[in-house]
């Protein structure tokens, strides 16, 4: 059995050194996907790194003074961005053998424990150059609110070529099936990571070109803005998780102000899911599930008939095990 050495010097940089592989190391990093939302825009907090800035998620190594992984994550986020985190959940551990985290210089393997955090947007501060970004800058093909995204046509063409290039008939069939499932007419909004992985494998995005040592294409409005290391893969995982979670847990209210209108709530859910919802069906479902209660206030900022302010009714958490928003978007089903 291989013995693992964990000395203070190694842990202070998030490294674990294997006795049978001296000179190599296992670094443990922490990354945060911090999500906020305006009424019409889902936003993620990113850092700009380097002389020619590349977008990255707030990240840092696990250090010996961190009592827990989550405590370490919160410390890094506050140090880099000035953002205090509220709702946090562990997302996934990324540890592919060939992955390299931003800033790594020594040989070895990099693990990153990623977290999803939901906040109400505040002006970034801290020691790093932090900025809120519309997450559709990175995934333009995921936003269906104005109809079929323009990015999908060149994506489908590129994936069709990739499918045809497989060396065997079985390989071509498998690739075609994967593309069909990810880009089907019914459009499963939760398959964000699966679509990203297809673009990566097909060499259509800059992260793949960078990993192969090829020149970047610049991404642009079709294939989205690239991110450092595999941070766009981490972000894709978080978006898919959140889109699924709002259907069975009331997490969307972590992004809402204390008082809001039903229209503001609907627009926020639409921004996160990337589809338009039927107004009356949405309101009926919210009311039937008892998710909100009126505050007594009135909003005159609607440009028409005044709207009543509501707030999240927290008692619903005790009343039902899965109080979420299982909604229909026109003819497209949002939940199975």
CA 142 to chain centre: 12
Spans in the chain with pLDDT lower than 70: 1-24, 97-108, 218-220, 301-304, 321-322, 326-336
Contacts of 244 (CB under 8 A, 6+ apart): 190
Q: Helix or strand or coil: residue 32?
A: strand
Domain ranges, ordered by start, for the chain: 4-135, 146-217, 256-333
What's residue 316's pLDDT? Answer: 87
Residue 301 CA, distance from chain mean position: 31
- Per-residue tokens: 88: 């946090």
Which pLDDT value is given to residue 331?
41
Coil, strand or helix: which one is 60? strand
Res 24: pLDDT: 56
Confidence (pLDDT) at 321: 67
pLDDT tens per residue, range 47-84: 999 888 899 999 999 999 999 999 999 999 999 999 99
Task: Report pLDDT for 110.
Answer: 83
CATH of domain 4-135: 3.90.79.10
111 close to 101: Cβ distance less than 8 angstroms? no
Torsion of CA 94, 95, 99, 103, to 10 degrees: 70
Token pair for residue 324?
Answer: 């979420």
Angle at 124 (CA atoms; ends 219, 69), nearest 5 degrees:
85
How far is Cα 243 from Cα 317, in angstroms, rounded to an integer? 19
What confidence tens digit (pLDDT) does each residue in 196-251 have?
999 999 999 999 999 888 877 765 678 999 999 999 999 999 999 999 999 989 99
256-333 folds as: Arc Repressor Mutant, subunit A (1.10.10)
Q: Please state, in angstroms and rounded to a whole number, the distance separating the CA atoms of residues 120 and 87.
A: 10
What's the distance, Cα to Cα, between the start and end of the chain in Å?
Answer: 46
Interatomic CA distance for residues 152 and 172, integer angstroms: 21
Residue 47's DSSP bridge partners are 56, 130
């Amino acid at each position: 059995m291989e013995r693992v050495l964990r000395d203070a010097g190694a842990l202070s940089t998030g490294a674990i050194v294997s006795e049978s592989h001296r000179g190599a190391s296992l670094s443990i990093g922490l990354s945060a996907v911090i999500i906020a939302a305006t009424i019409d825009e889902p936003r993620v907090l990113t850092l700009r790194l380097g002389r020619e800035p590349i977008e990255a998620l707030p990240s840092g190594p696990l250090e010996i003074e961190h009592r827990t992984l989550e405590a370490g994550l919160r410390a890094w986020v506050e140090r880099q961005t000035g953002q205090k985190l509220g709702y946090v959940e562990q997302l996934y551990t990324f540890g592919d053998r060939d992955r390299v985290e931003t800033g790594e210089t020594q040989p070895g393997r990099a693990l990153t424990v990623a977290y999803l955090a939901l906040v109400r947007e505040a002006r970034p501060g801290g020691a790093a150059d932090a900025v809120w970004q519309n997450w559709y800058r990175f995934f333009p093909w995921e936003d269906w609110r104005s109809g079929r995204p323009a990015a999908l046509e060149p994506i489908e063409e590129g994936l069709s070529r990739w499918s045809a290039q497989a060396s065997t008939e079985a390989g071509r069939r498998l690739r075609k099936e994967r593309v069909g499932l990810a880009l089907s007419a019914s459009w499963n909004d939760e398959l964000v990571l699966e679509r990203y992985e297809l673009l990566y494998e097909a060499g259509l995005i800059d992260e793949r070109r960078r990993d192969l040592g090829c020149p970047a294409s610049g991404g642009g409005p079709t294939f989205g803005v690239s991110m450092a290391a595999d941070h766009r893969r981490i972000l894709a995982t978080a978006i898919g998780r959140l889109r699924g979670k709002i259907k069975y847990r009331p997490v969307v209210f972590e992004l809402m102000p204390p008082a809001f209108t039903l229209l503001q709530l609907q627009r926020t859910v639409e921004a996160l899911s990337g589809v338009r919802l039927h107004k009356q069906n949405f309101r009926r479902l919210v009311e039937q599930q008892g998710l909100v209660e009126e505050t007594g206030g009135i909003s005159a900022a609607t440009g028409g008939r005044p709207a009543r302010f509501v707030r999240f009714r927290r008692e619903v958490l005790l009343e039902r095990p899965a109080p979420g928003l299982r909604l229909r978007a026109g003819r497209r089903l949002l939940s199975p």
